[in-house]
A and B are shown apart, each in its own frame.
Chain A
């Protein structure tokens, strides 16, 4: 199945490259074929089944140091003519920039296991059963679980081809699958939600029972939550909450943000930017990682890049353009979410390295603190100023034990301060999608409640 597809994509790409060679224009063709399946079950029955197939092309050209880009989902010869004309004519309007270039090939790519044939060989019926199992496990966990908001299974398979006039020829296919449950627990007119999600590179690694059970557990533990008093308190962030903060940190180590003065890490290379126990890595070759792939969206090989080591800033994430600007090499972080846009700096498998302490050891000597299990409105945090003020829910920590549930409070601070305030990291590294973190103990956070 994939051989003819690869040939078809290559044929289309070559046609456009021919045009580029004739016109003496640097060009890159990014072709993506994507197939998705998602299944949602309600009370054991399939509620929604969605199957999708998508193909598209993004064309990047550089003419006289000027950048042009156009995309199309229509791959007919006429549409390809149009996309070529559009991309080239845009070069007339964009500002010239000496740092623009396409990566040069040929490149050697790491050999990674990013395609699991079991996913495509497994029938839809079996996949429905996985979603059912997750839902059932959630319902059976506790009688107070009254509604399963959604329980489902999803997988995605993609074929990516990148060709450019500088000799890059990259083709690979990948896939991944996942299952999730959002559960609602109710008691005495109080209703609370809990969720769990697991995304894996291999179908055999999915554990629907664990997902269902965890969602239910997370909902039940929030029942009868109340606001807590305002104050500065020691906190522990669950790995999930820590990964939400990684979203902001990813923008701070993005070379583009740094170069444009939109990162608080500008001018801080080699300096101490966090606690000693804090190390941050991006690894596009991480075994089993959902963000692993042999090459990035420009055809540059993926790699492991250390960003913060024992609290010291040691690296940034680069794509080809930002690397040119800093006279360094791309770290293989030129990413794009679809064929509809230009590549820009993005993370792959982005993680805080785990430590050695268990959760109990992290919590042991906290007399009064806040164990954060959920943050709301994280998208409102400002990666440029580093300021965040987000809604939070969780549990009180009293004498080293988790006690009463808390909701309706906010936690606020500055991300730079937060990194310095990390006192200890747990051993429980866990990935949510392509971002991973262990539990983090924070010396103090400003909590606002009653």
Chain B
């Protein structure tokens, strides 16, 4: 992308007025998307973008400047602005920076790069998925299928002399189906994606995704309103890991912990969850949507145990927060693009599988809610309260799945919920998503086995209509 001499000059310029650390992050991104709605290819988008972000750390301060002017003059100017903002009184003369590559994890081999796959092929997959959902019958009123791919080439160099280059390719399919009958409208949604080229289609089938989304939308037309109140909740592994992401993931990001904004601060070494619960953030799982060869500061992605059999053993760090706690970065420094400074973020976050038979967990639940598919969620890390949506839920009575329910939302408190997990299955299921924090979205995956939570607040709409399903708190 740029030669090392120029990069070194830029970093030297950034530290001219003082500062402890300078970094340049350069990104070139080629992306396309195909969007089908109303039974036709409605939009295709193709874009090319490049830009650089320059960061200077001085004491506790961060200054960050980005530009998409990648000329020598443009970058030196950006470095000057960043350096000026971070200037300190005692600017010492420092020796010029020289950049050297360090040992790196194996590069990912992409077999079919997005720019090598013709629109004809992308469109064929999209149309096939659209058709599969529409073939489910007259209840299907609208089908949206989208595929997006991007190829990012990233270069990161810093004043410690490190330089890293990385090629990142992601492909992602989304299907949203609207079903309607007698004025009742319900939707079904499926998404799948990974760090891979178009060879991803050997693992995922857009047609199957479309059928699944359509069948769910139709099934939910007949669902009864969700019950309300406190009750046991079984979360199937198919549901993915939104719960672990919200209930504890965010609270274990070191920036929130250090600012005093996490219920998990000052709890290292303490029991924060039931002994059955082990939580891991693992950037190294090949192909998963949150896979990282390097994070966005050039630290290799790694596997970090956060909660070990219920005991809090680690947080997720980027470079800045690691320095504050005098530990090493765990490779969780991520950013949405060159327009953002890196902050601690999750990658692939999971509750490790246990030993129970998933079927038996349901059979042994006398009454409660089974969650087969989770939607989006949100957490207030300061008090640990979280909420997430149930896209596909069923009532359990006497160990049997009796009826689908719709419109349920689960609210809980992270530490309380983790402590009340009483069953952990031996299966494991993934879901993907875009996680938002501080205005930055990054691709993540979450996973969990089938688990049971003794009691959670289920919010729904069926107050008066189904009093029988109200479960009182002990």
Contact = CB atoms under 8 A, between A and B. Distances in A.
Contacts of B185: 264, 384-386
Nearest to A387: B407
Interface residues of B, number: 77
Nearest to A342: B43
Contacts of A72: 47-49
Contacts of A262: 142, 178
Interface string A383-416: 0111101110100000000000001111111100
Interface in B19-55: 37-38, 40-51
Contact of B63 (A49, A56, A385, A450): A49
Interface stretch (A20-28, A63-71, A275-283): A63-71
Contacts of A231: 463
Interface in B367-388: 375-378, 380, 382-383, 385-388
A206 to B, nearest CB: 20
B88 interface: no
Contacts of A79: 48
A390 B460 CA distance: 9
A97 B38 CA distance: 12
A4 interface: no
B458 interface: yes
B84 to A, nearest CB: 10
Contacts of A393: 385
A448 B459 contact: yes
Contacts of A74: 48-50, 68
A409 B459 contact: yes
B382 A184 contact: yes
A42 B178 contact: no
Contact of B464 (A68, A87, A232, A410): A232
Contacts of A264: 185
Contacts of B69: 53, 55
Contact of B460 (A83, A90, A94, A389): A389
Contact of B46 (A70, A227, A260): A70
B304 interface: no
A73 B457 contact: no
Contact of A376 (B63, B184, B259, B380): B380
Interface of A: 42, 45-56, 67-74, 79, 82-83, 86-87, 90, 93-95, 97, 124, 146-147, 149, 184, 190-193, 227, 230-232, 260-262, 264, 340-342, 376-377, 379-380, 382, 384-387, 389-391, 393, 407-414, 446, 448-450
Given A47-B60, A412-B459, A446-B228, 5 more contacts: A45-B61, A48-B61, A54-B339, A74-B49, A412-B461
22 contacts: A45-B61, A47-B61, A49-B63, A51-B81, A54-B67, A54-B339, A72-B48, A83-B48, A94-B44, A192-B383, A193-B380, A376-B386, A377-B377, A380-B375, A380-B376, A380-B377, A389-B459, A391-B385, A391-B387, A408-B457, A412-B459, A414-B461
